[in-house]
Amino acid sequence: MSGYPKYRYLVTQPDLNAHGTLHGGILMKWVDEACGMEAKLRTARVCATRHIAAIDFTATARAGDIIEISVLPNGVGRTSVSFEVVVRNAFGGVIATVDNIVFVAVDSSHKPITFPNNSTGASGE
């Protein structure tokens, strides 16, 4: 996944579930944050999560592990950008993948808005 933006998070005690492993909801929060930052960088607009599809958890992480979230462009539409995500443990393999996460650029009233310099012909809205 070299060449794609990576966002890193350190797993700490508050991120753990009752089994002592990274809570899936915390991981999804991090994925949403990473993709949200990438969406804003690409659109220069405030973006809201519209859709998250096919999350596949394949491994876990423990306190002290560093999580790397790779955000891969998956498509651009008039008002939306979409990404594919690969989550890895910096000390191991893949933890999870997300097939498609879509963000929509919104105005101050939270209504979809087109953004400048978007590509055409890609998937998305």
Tell whether the model's pLDDT for residue 124 goes beyond 50: no
**Structural domain includes residue 110:** no
**Per-residue pLDDT tens over the stretch 74-92:** 999 999 999 999 999 998 8
Tell me how far apart the alpha carbons of residues 96 and 64 are, in angstroms, rounded to a whole number: 18
Single-letter code of the amino acid located at 14: P
**Residue 91 tokens, joined:** 């000390």
What total of structural domains would you count in the chain?
Answer: 1
Tell me how far apart the alpha carbons of residues 106 and 112 are, in angstroms, rounded to a whole number: 4
**Structural domain includes residue 91:** yes
pLDDT averaged over every residue in the chain: 90
Tell me how far apart the alpha carbons of residues 108 and 11 are, in angstroms, rounded to a whole number: 34
Tell me how far apart the alpha carbons of residues 112 and 98 are, in angstroms, rounded to a whole number: 23
**Structural domain includes residue 38:** yes
- Using pLDDT thresholds of 50, 70 and 90, give the confidence band for residue 123: very low
Tell me how far apart the alpha carbons of residues 82 and 124 are, in angstroms, rounded to a whole number: 7
61 CB-contact burial (10 Å; exposed 0-12 / middle 13-18 / buried 19+): buried
The enclosing domain of 45 has a CATH number of 3.10.129.10
- Whether the CB-CB separation of 71 and 83 falls below 8 Å is answered with yes
**Structural domain includes residue 112:** no
Q: Which domain holds residue 23?
A: 6-105
Q: Tell me the whole-structure pTM to 2 decimals.
A: 0.88
